[in-house]
Structure 1
Amino acid sequence: MKTTTTFIERTDSTWRPRCVYWSPSTGDLLVGMYTIDTGKVTRYNQSGQLTQTIQYHNTGRGLYSIPRYITENNNGDVVVSDLSGVVVTERGGRHRFSYTGPPSGSRLLPCGICTDALSHILVCDVRTVQMINKDGRFLSHLLTKSQEMGLPRSLSYDVNTHRLWVGSWGHNKVCVYRYITRQDALTDEHRPRPDEEAMFSSTPAI
């Protein structure tokens, strides 16, 4: 805790950092940044050196507008909850797919995002939590709007207990859900069931 590494030091107001993710597999820091009408993801190594910038589709079109949340899948894919939808690229930066919700092209308002032990991508859009597979195919509405959950805004998956933590916007609480078991994670045979029951919820002290 006595060592500080400066990854980004703004010298102008052109690019603004918006979200960060530390990769447990590589030790890299991924940073989502934005400026007027466009965004990018930058990768920094543990020494704070910029090693990669992900910004453009292979057609030259920009991939992001405003990256809001960022995570990484088990295969190394960079998964971004962007203002316009979920954008997934390979670790090397090649665009794999963009997801805008079922049906395709519907208005998705993505917020928190995470991945689980089975490489599912989980994204909340304030109304529900959607589950898609690693290739962008919709699997299920894992959670729909409920009194306990309220308006889901942020997500985190616990790799040790296989629980899903959902932060509620407006309800001032965190709900914890169980939707896969340790055996599911080991056998890769889980079939998601929608609207599974919350295990418990708690109200923050602050």
Structure 2
Amino acid sequence: MENLIQFDSKGKLRKQITTSRSSYGYHTVTKEGEMLYAEREKKAIFRLYTDMAAKKLIGTMCWEPHSIYTSKTNGDIIVGMAHDTDWEVSKVTRYSAEGIKLQDIQKNENDENLFKSTRYITENINGDICTSDTRGEKVVVVTKSGKHRFPYDGHQAQTEFQPCGICTDVLGHILVCNGFNGFCSRFFSIHLINKDGNFQGFILGPQQCPAAPNTLCIDDEHNLWLGAEDNSSVLVYKYLENKDK
């Protein structure tokens, strides 16, 4: 069993619900402030309303939903999934805000699978879909139409790269955690790459990064929120000066 827990900005508990055994980046929040979450074993996406009532929105048939993101531009729901009989057959599916299937992204122009896994997923300001492919040991970026743009497989300073949590900022940079399941403390870090896949630097290197960084996001004030497997706290960093002021 897993718990989804919501706190206010001061760290006070607001809501908590229990879900079945889930996956990785398996929850997101809509523009209206309602939570969506994936139930991997039930092969479904649920909407959690503000009164805490949960209702099934999407059934994913023979695909297990592992990661989910709601578009900030149009409310589309973007889901990373693995086939229930072969976890190395994965795809990304786009749904409307109402749960209507719009698009499947699975193969490149050579009819090869784009993804081995879709652990965490996000969208960039240019519409690109960015996925942490942990089994493939890379970040996979495709256009909104599903065309493969580039892979990012880490930086030469780190000989191992197992990406997990991923997000983007207002400048189109991609931030990604290296350290899935705490595989090697020497490489725990947060990588910063630009929208074209070029490494820009480490936001947090191995000396500063908490153990096993798993998930991250940037809020409306441009603060970086970071969760780590071996840390019972959520860490908050000043990332960018507030561009809205």
How far is the alpha carbon of 1:106 from its aligned partner? Answer: 4.7
With a CA cutoff of 8 Å and minimum separation of 6, indicate the structure with the bigger relative contact order: 1
Identity, % of aligned positions = 39
User: Could you give the per-residue CA deviations for residues 4-42 of structure 1, whole angstroms, max 9, x where no partner exists?
Assistant: 4521253xxx42111111112111101100121221000
The answer (yes or no) to whether the contact 1:148–1:175 under 8 Å persists in 2 is no
Structure 1 position 116 matched with structure 2 position 177? no
AA at the equivalent of 1:114: C
The answer (yes or no) to whether the contact 2:71–2:77 under 8 Å persists in 1 is yes
The answer (yes or no) to whether the contact 1:29–1:45 under 8 Å persists in 2 is yes
- Higher share of residues assigned strand: 2
CA RMSD of aligned residues (A): 2.1
Select the residue among 66, 71, 82 that pairs with 2:133.
Answer: 82
The answer (yes or no) to whether the contact 2:172–2:194 under 8 Å persists in 1 is yes
1:50–1:106 distance in 2 versus 1, CA, 3 Å: farther
1:103–1:5 distance in 2 versus 1, CA, 3 Å: same
Q: Which runs of 5+ in 2 are unaligned?
A: 1-48, 180-187
The answer (yes or no) to whether the contact 1:18–1:32 under 8 Å persists in 2 is yes
Tell me the distance in 1 between the aligned counterparts of 2:100 and 2:178: 33
Structure 1 position 67 matched with structure 2 position 118? yes
In the superposition, the TM-score normalised over structure 2's length comes to 0.69
Match in the other structure for 1:20: 68
Tell me the distance in 1 between the aligned counterparts of 2:232 and 2:209: 11
In the superposition, the TM-score normalised over structure 1's length comes to 0.81
How far is the alpha carbon of 1:68 from its aligned partner? Answer: 0.2
User: Could you give the per-residue CA deviations for residues 144-189 of structure 1, whole angstroms, max 9, x where no partner exists?
Assistant: 134672321111111x211100101112111111132124x78xxx
List 4+ stretches of structure 1 deviating above 6 A: none
AA at the equivalent of 2:235: C
AA at the equivalent of 1:142: I
The answer (yes or no) to whether the contact 2:106–2:113 under 8 Å persists in 1 is yes
Tell me the distance in 2 between the aligned counterparts of 1:33 and 1:138: 27
Select the residue among 53, 66, 83 that pairs with 2:104.
Answer: 53
How many residue pairs match? The answer is: 181
Tell me the distance in 1 between the aligned counterparts of 2:210 and 2:232: 10
Q: Secondary structure at the match of 1:108?
A: coil
Match in the other structure for 1:6: 57
